[in-house]
Amino acid sequence: MIAIPMHTKDATTLCDLYGKAPYFALLDETSGVFSVVENATQGEGPKCAKFLKSLGVDSTIFYHMGEGVYRAFEQHAISVYTAQHRYVSIDEIFINWGRFTQLDSTNFNELLDPGEGQSCQCGCH
């Protein structure tokens, strides 16, 4: 299952600031069926990983994400993919899932970006 951060419950594109997203669309990458849940950890980015893992999430995609949030997903064995600063829709994510770049130890430094005016608040630096 793929977690997609959303600005509103009825949004169709991903939210730009991952940890501050009020909702997540939970997309079944096999069927394309999704449901929307409220982000119980809104504003506490690194805690999203544990919350989403408890919902059966094994992958996520982001527009902006800081290193602390990424490290938390890494610790919970959730794969992280970048939308490369594009507001992609849930449908685009489903159709093109195999084409998004997955972060790993060789590329995460260049692909992570907490967002303009944002800084990591998790103490990872």
Q: Looking at residue 122, what is its pLDDT? A: 40
Burial 14-37 (b: 16+ CB within 10 A, else e): bbbbbbbbebbbbbeeeeeebeee
- What's the whole-model pTM score? 0.88
- Mean pLDDT of each 10-residue bin along the chain, 125 residues long: 95 89 95 95 88 96 91 95 94 95 92 65 39
Contact 65, 111 (CB under 8 A): no
pLDDT at 14: 92
* pLDDT at res. 114: 74
Which of 101, 17, 13, 117 lies closest to 65, judged by CA?
Answer: 17
Q: Tell me the C-alpha to C-alpha distance, in Å, between residue 108 and each of 23, 46, 102, 111.
A: 24, 16, 9, 5
Query: What SS3 state is found at 97?
Result: helix
Domain boundaries of the chain, sorted by first residue: 2-111
Q: 2-111, which class in CATH?
A: alpha beta
pLDDT at 116: 58
